[in-house]
Amino acid sequence: MPLDDISYFHDGVLEYSADGTSWRELAAFSGTPDVTATAPAGTKARYVRARATAGQTSWVVVREFHVATTDGAVTGNPPAATGSALSSAADGDPGTVCRAARAPKAGEFLEVGLGAARAVGSVTVLRPTGAKGAADIQLRGADGGWRTVGSLGGAYTYVDTHGRNADAVRLAWRTGGEAPQIAEVVVGK
């Protein structure tokens, strides 16, 4: 019998928890090596696990366990230029660049969601060399208000945010100038 036929959980559940103590079932599975599930809209969890619900006659091998989150969801304006995407500003790859289709207008911003409120130790913004455009770097606090913690400048901007709690970071564009380009918004702990 090939190893792939016996090395997975044969019967189990996917579960999630906000505190690591109280668990809720997301999906039950049986007889399949590949398991996927989508949580209901609005689900908030800090932990996700796969748990066997029956005895195994062989070792279990987990080749991949991936949980997609809303952390790093990017929204805002100006819209991305053709061939670019807003999500490039927080995809973990400084080699991809979010290029705006036009210069910013009054009230426009680029927002990176953090999924849930947490302590933010720093914000680093990376831009291609020579990229122009000015913005205030802001954090959204528990009261829903935005607090300016620094200003965008040059290809590398680092702001120590002193562990302030926030659930989102945004670049509040100043009007005029060139279309903004952002390689990465990095939120430190």
Pairing of strands 146-151, 135-140: antiparallel
Model confidence, pTM: 0.65
Pairing of strands 47-52, 181-182: unpaired
**Residue ranges in the chain assigned as alpha helix (H):** none
pLDDT (tens digit, 0 to 9) for every residue of the chain, 189 residues total?
Answer: 444 456 777 888 888 887 888 898 888 888 887 888 777 766 777 788 888 888 888 777 777 776 665 566 888 999 999 999 998 999 888 899 999 999 999 999 999 988 888 899 999 999 999 888 899 999 999 888 999 999 998 899 999 999 999 999 999 999 877 899 999 999 988
Return the amino acid letter for 54.
A
